[in-house]
Amino acid sequence: MKQGWLSILVAVLLSLSVPDAAWAQKSGSASTKASKASKAGPVKKAQPAQAGRKAVKARAQRSGKAAPRKTARRVVPARPSEGQLAGLHRTEDPLDLRSSVALVVDQNTNEVLLAKNDQAVLPIASITKLMTALVVADAQLSLDEPLVVSREDVAIFPGRQSRLTAGTSLTRGELLHLALMSSENRAAHALGRTFPGGMVNFVGLMNAKARELGMRDTHYVEPTGLSSDNRSSAQDLVRLAKAAFSFPILRELSTSVEAAMPVGRRNVQFRTTNGLVRNPQWDIGLQKTGYIAAAGRCVVMQAELAGRQLIMVLLDSAGRYSRIGDAERIRSWLGAGASPMVSPQPAREAHPTDAAGIDPSGALTAPMIQSLPR
């Protein structure tokens, strides 16, 4: 009997010792892990950026594609314009204009109200398209004739932004509209390419027209203005603006605010490159803007300011909106009762073809310029 009670007591004692042993084993294991962790140092948490990069890399590996790599962008300094290289921006003027070249002339009397480096011969960018349009208008070709934008028009200046794709069919009038309003390079090139006699004849007529107008500082090599070899002076561009203003169609198209054109299967909205056309404080009768790095920002306008019909030329303006700011300064100055301002500059001999003074087109000619105070 006693042996039976002893065996029961031993069994009870053994059952009570098992949990303690298990707990001791777990405790020992935990303490061992803690000891190892303490030797290894503090646990590092994954940084969010690192986790993100790892996730991107893992997804790329699963898809079989290489993970995108971040590359540093090299900042390319802006290329100086020819006017900047020539030091024209050092010429001071009372209005503190950002344009190195400025000329404001009364359209009716030829009085020069403002002149700054107006004899400098510089690239004129898309101001070229004003002559392109003048040659087309002068030829009296049908504006309803359909023309197709070709691969040549697209490839001649690769990388230039344009929404006119190869195969686009527009009328000559629509291409003329886009060249003047939106400064569409492919439209201007197509106008020259499809002209009777081809591009060579067209460029020849541009230069012939310049000579006819007495634009002695002007030379063209193509109809868009993307070439820096298209060059002129502010004095010559006054002559060009006056000649272009005599065509109502050029006045209408150049001052249009926007227009929808059929390009492929959809209508595409095109807008003016000159924000002043939308400004109700301006009454603009003709305009054209231009920009390439060598020319800076340019604008030529005919506008009524302070009760006078004026031609305004601003070339080689530094800064995206500086030509607009300069135009506004001139408008405010004229509204305040301005006196004529002509910056000092070297005089120049008169050209023999200008001996008669004002030519039949009403252009500003050398004898009148020489009579101005210097």
Just list the catalytic residues: 126, 129, 183
Amino acid at 107: Q
Cα–Cα distance measured from residue 296 to residue 227, given in angstroms and rounded to the nearest whole number? 13
Cα–Cα distance measured from residue 372 to residue 119, given in angstroms and rounded to the nearest whole number? 13
Six-digit token string for 103: 């000329």
DSSP string, 274-317: -GGGG-TT-EEEEEEEEEETTTEEEEEEEEEETTEEEEEEEEEE
Q: Do 234 and 264 meet the contact criterion of CB atoms below 8 Å apart?
A: no
Q: Do 83 and 315 meet the contact criterion of CB atoms below 8 Å apart?
A: yes
Coil, strand or helix at 98: coil
β-strand partners of 99: 317
What are the Cα distances from residue 211, in Å, to 137, 163, 217, 321, 353?
Answer: 17, 34, 9, 33, 9
Cα–Cα distance measured from residue 136 to residue 192, given in angstroms and rounded to the nearest whole number? 8
Six-digit token string for 235: 């004095």
